[in-house]
Amino acid sequence: MQAKETLFADLVQGKAQQFQVPLYQRTYSWTERQLGQLWADILEQAELLEAGDRASTHFLGSVVLAPSPQNEVMFPQWLVVDGQQRLTTLSLALAAIRDHIADAQPDEAERIDEEYLINKRKNGTAYFRLLPTQADRPQFAAHIRGPLDNQVSGGNVGRAYDFFRRKLLEAEDPAAPRDVFRIEQAITYRLTLVAVTAERGDNVHRIFESLNNTGLKLSQADLLRNYLFMRMPTRGEHVYETYWLPLQNSLSNDELEQLMWLHLVLGGDDRVRRQDLYASQQQHFERREFTEAEIEAYIRDLYRHGALFRRLLHPEEEPDPAVRAHVRRLGTWQAQVSYPALMLLLERRERGEVGSSDTARAMSYIESFLVRRMICRVPTNNLNRIFQAVPGQMPLDVPVADGLRQLLSADNRFWPDDDELREKIRKAPFYQYGRWHQRKMVLQRLEESYGHPEPVDFASARLTIEHVLPQSAGDEWMRMLSEDASDTETPEDLHARLRHTLGNLTLTAVNSELSNHPFERKQDLLKGSHLEMNRRIAATDRWGAREILARADDLAERAIALWPAPLRGIGRAERTRDWQLAHQVLAALPHGTWTSYGDLAAFLGSGAQAVGNHLAATPGVANAHRVLTSEGKIPDGDRWTSRGEDGAVRARLTADGIRFTVNGAADPTQRKSADDLALLITDSDDVEADDEDTAQRTVRGQSEESRADRFFRQLATDDSPETVDAVRALFTGWEKLGGWVSHGAGQAITSAYLMLGEAGAPGRGIWPLTLYPGGGRGGTAEVVFQHLAAREPFTDRGLRAELLRRLNEMKGVDIPEGKLELRPSFRLSVLEDSRNRELLAETLAWFRGRWEARDTA
């Protein structure tokens, strides 16, 4: 190999030649993020040229070239082993400059064309100086040849070209005009490359693997595709056009990678991880010398599986209505974890081993397995292992559907039976487990079980989850609960224990109107509902503990009928999950926090006495000493004080950061409620502040105005005009800082997110605050510490603590340090104070500065 530093002009200018992107390469993938960084570098070099600096250049990266098999002495042709993203981007930038000046200076436009973009005297594909991979050729050719038509609009190539056209127009700003030829010169003579040229016989794929460490990282699918087509010198073109290109066009890159992984799993590999896909397949193909025909057979089989996989991604493509309904529900559940089992069923049906009715029955077992585990709060951390093992463990001596049911009923699969399902529906805080769309789907299926003659169109109905007994209960509700409370349980304890259970939850489109009104007011609204479950609630005389439990029992029987139970007698593990959950959440208690027996019991769906008995009888439970009475007192007669250790316990609590009031009670601001405990062990990506907000995020141009109007209308219903004006000013200030405001899709409660990052780019956004209208209780700003803990640079706890300190400088805001792992709130009404608005503006500017400096810290 030879390596030398060069410039883009020196690489591509002059004699007729061509740089070919091999068909096995990924398609053009640069997005506005990479384009924006390159444009900033180009402008910087243009400014240096303007200032007379001829020495400074910008290093763009490497380009790895190898002689093409079609190479000719009079027409050199090179394979671009690495660097195609850079070369394509620079070519599109020059095409945009050419078109920008074409009308005013046609001769200069022609010069740019002939020097960098085309081989004037060549025909066909040889006409282009750069020839992208087949999937990108039509768009790239249209932008190089021009003029454009509607059929070639869109796509990453088109978006990159449009980006540069837009930036060139911005560069004509009369206040600070930029010379377009300086920009051209910056691209062609100021961006340096290292050109690595391989000789014939060099292993260019190994070079490609080792040097691909810049730009967008190649996926496992990219690497495997490259490897396979490198090994198909004679059949590659045909296989690519016949199988690979249609497959690639029908699936996204991530979906294609998932399909490749599923193909391995269906073959019985129950251990391979997606991130090891390439290494595993490479090892497979190198165990012996595979022929081109064998590799073609593998790609053909992948193509066949792709058609089945699309049915999981797009249920409308499934012809059988019963199977389609199950696939659609599992899609709503976001049950990608079950794909190995679902693909196995579709493949067995395609081979004629099972009919559609039994396929649907088998899918009902998968749905039941997932739903029952969610309702019974079984952790999801082993689901990947369970479903990945299905293809290799399916019994061979029984029908497919029966075999799957038998497999999922086996030891340690934890498919809850009917008795456990009944118990959890009565006691477990359903609203605090699973994801919002899963909870909503459970309630939707239960509503459908009533068989209403005029069923609700759930696709168009804007239904949200409503607590009949409100989350924040007023005096009338507490008086009703006092009638049901026992001698050992206060109305407050009863409220905490029952409010999130399934028996107290329903679906409604009038959540904001129901709010926390007394039951009589809710009755009037629920009577007019189209949902049968709401009519039945409205038909009761009161809504207390007895009614909630009675409804829970009814819903449990409906759930048992909807979701089949596991087989009996397969062998089941002892159920100690609830106490494992208690140990888990106690171990997660942050420094400087405590909880009560009632809080822990409400979180578990248990009783306070049972919690006390367990902790007293179980030595070695982490932070068990931080479970106190509801008043924050060390309980008399527990295993600590019975040994005369009351003083020692208090000293230990003090060492753990617990403060005590003058009357000897733990500081109530450090107490973790049942809701707080639920957040401690919930994945931050799964947390949604309220089921009423569907967690959909909007970007500018997608109904943003109507959602913004709805947000402020809801805010104004119970906040003062001064608060509303302060929030409007907050949004304006945030946008001046370079942020943007995204609104949730909820109708009852429309949230607002103060966003940084690229609009609409998943995984890149970050936000410090989520704002909610009050729904009768005053608007709040939620500080999303839990979200920030997983986003750089705020994975650093010290930065989150500094954010907390700054917010607490505002008058009326006092967030305990123990909330640093959670999502605490403060009232938006504090922003009526001018000094508070100044402090918050300074805090948000600090936040933006820390985030922007994350890559240079």
Residue 688 scores a pLDDT above 70: no
Spatial neighbors of 802 by CB under 8 A, at least 6 apart, are 846
Domain-located, residue 545: yes
Four-point Cα dihedral 205, 209, 211, 217, nearest 10: 130
Rounded Cα distance, 436 and 186, in Å: 51
Residue 216 scores a pLDDT above 70: no
Q: Can you spell out the DSSP letters for 400-424?
A: HHHHHHHHHTSTTS----HHHHHHH
Which structure tokens are listed for 176? 């600070």
Q: Which pLDDT does position 202 carry in this prediction?
A: 62
286 and 175 in a common domain: no
Q: Which pLDDT does position 686 carry in this prediction?
A: 45
Q: Which pLDDT does position 231 carry in this prediction?
A: 85
Strands (E), 773-829: 780-783, 825-827
Q: Which pLDDT does position 514 carry in this prediction?
A: 63
* Cβ burial, residue 136 (10 Å; 0-12/13-18/19+): buried
Q: Which pLDDT does position 546 carry in this prediction?
A: 93
Chain position carrying tokens 């377009």: 180
> What does the mean pLDDT of the chain come to?
83
Which structure tokens are listed for 499? 């409010």
Q: Which pLDDT does position 832 carry in this prediction?
A: 94
pLDDT tens figures, 14-64: 778 999 998 777 889 888 888 988 998 898 888 888 878 776 688 888 888
113 and 21 in a common domain: yes
Q: In the Cβ-directed half-sphere of 671, how many Cα atoms lie within 13 Å?
A: 21
Q: Which pLDDT does position 660 carry in this prediction?
A: 87
Residue 462 scores a pLDDT above 70: yes
pLDDT tens figures, 796-847: 888 999 999 999 999 999 998 878 878 888 999 999 999 999 999 999 999 9
Q: What are residue 825's DSSP bridge partners?
A: 782
Band of the pLDDT at 186, cuts 50, 70, 90? very high
168 and 63 in a common domain: yes
Distance of CA 250 to the CA centre of its chain: 22
Q: Which pLDDT does position 224 carry in this prediction?
A: 84
Q: Which pLDDT does position 185 carry in this prediction?
A: 94
328 and 284 in a common domain: no
Which structure tokens are listed for 526? 């629920």
Rounded Cα distance, 673 and 141, in Å: 62
Q: Indicate the number of domains in the chain.
A: 6
Domain-located, residue 685: no
Q: Which pLDDT does position 745 carry in this prediction?
A: 62
| CATH assignment of the domain containing 582 | 1.10.10.10
At which of 416, 448, 473 does a domain end?
Answer: 416
CA-based nearest residue to 390, from 374, 413, 370: 413
pLDDT tens figures, 161-177: 988 988 888 787 665 57
Band of the pLDDT at 337, cuts 50, 70, 90? very high
Q: Which of 185-194, 209-218, 815-824, 828-837 has the highest mean pLDDT?
A: 828-837
pLDDT tens figures, 469-506: 988 888 889 999 999 988 878 898 899 999 999 999 99
Is the torsion defined by CA of 678, 778, 750, 507 positive or negative? positive
Between 419 and 746, residue with greater pLDDT: 419
Band of the pLDDT at 147, cuts 50, 70, 90? low
Q: Nearest-5° angle of CA 530, CA 535, CA 538? A: 135
Q: Which pLDDT does position 106 carry in this prediction?
A: 92
- Between strands 77-82 and 18-20, the pairing is parallel
Domain-located, residue 744: yes
Helix (H) or strand (E) segment spanning residue 179 = none
44 and 31 in a common domain: yes
Band of the pLDDT at 158, cuts 50, 70, 90? confident
268 and 285 in a common domain: yes
Distance of CA 797 to the CA centre of its chain: 23
396 and 482 in a common domain: no
Residue 708 scores a pLDDT above 70: yes
pLDDT tens figures, 353-406: 999 999 999 999 999 999 999 999 888 867 888 998 899 888 878 899 999 999
- Amino acid, single-letter form, for residue 102: A
pLDDT tens figures, 608-637: 777 888 888 788 777 888 999 888 888 875
Range from 204-213, 250-259, 435-444, 487-496 carrying the lowest mean pLDDT: 204-213
Provide the domain limits for residue 202: 2-215
Q: Which pLDDT does position 448 carry in this prediction?
A: 92
In this prediction, residues 693-706 reach a mean pLDDT of 40
DSSP for residue 634: P
* Cβ burial, residue 854 (10 Å; 0-12/13-18/19+): middle
404 and 447 in a common domain: no
Work out the percent of the chain whose per-residue pLDDT is above 90. Answer: 40
Between 689 and 217, residue with greater pLDDT: 217
SS3 of residue 197 by DSSP: strand
Between 273 and 451, residue with greater pLDDT: 451
243 and 203 in a common domain: no
**Alpha helices in 645-757, H assignment, sequence order:** 646-655, 674-680, 704-718, 721-736
Q: How far apart are the first and last CA of the chain?
A: 36
Residue 261 scores a pLDDT above 50: yes
Domain-located, residue 690: no
Q: In the Cβ-directed half-sphere of 239, how many Cα atoms lie within 13 Å?
A: 23
Domain-located, residue 239: yes
397 and 334 in a common domain: yes
CA-based nearest residue to 502, from 554, 565, 452: 554
Band of the pLDDT at 700, cuts 50, 70, 90? very low
Band of the pLDDT at 572, cuts 50, 70, 90? very low
Q: What are residue 557's DSSP bridge partners?
A: none
67 and 205 in a common domain: yes
Which structure tokens are listed for 260? 């490749």
What's the alpha-carbon Rg for the chain, to the nearest Å? 32
Q: Which pLDDT does position 604 carry in this prediction?
A: 81
How many C-beta neighbours within 10 Å does residue 677 have? 26
Domain-located, residue 689: no
Spatial neighbors of 306 by CB under 8 A, at least 6 apart, are 247, 250, 251, 259
In this prediction, residues 286-313 reach a mean pLDDT of 90
Strands (E), 13-87: 18-20, 58-67, 77-82
Residue 757 scores a pLDDT above 60: yes
Rounded Cα distance, 751 and 720, in Å: 18
Q: Which pLDDT does position 506 carry in this prediction?
A: 93
In this prediction, residues 192-199 reach a mean pLDDT of 83
pLDDT tens figures, 581-600: 788 788 778 778 889 888 88
Domain-located, residue 688: no
443 and 332 in a common domain: no
In this prediction, residues 245-252 reach a mean pLDDT of 91
Rounded Cα distance, 440 and 509, in Å: 13
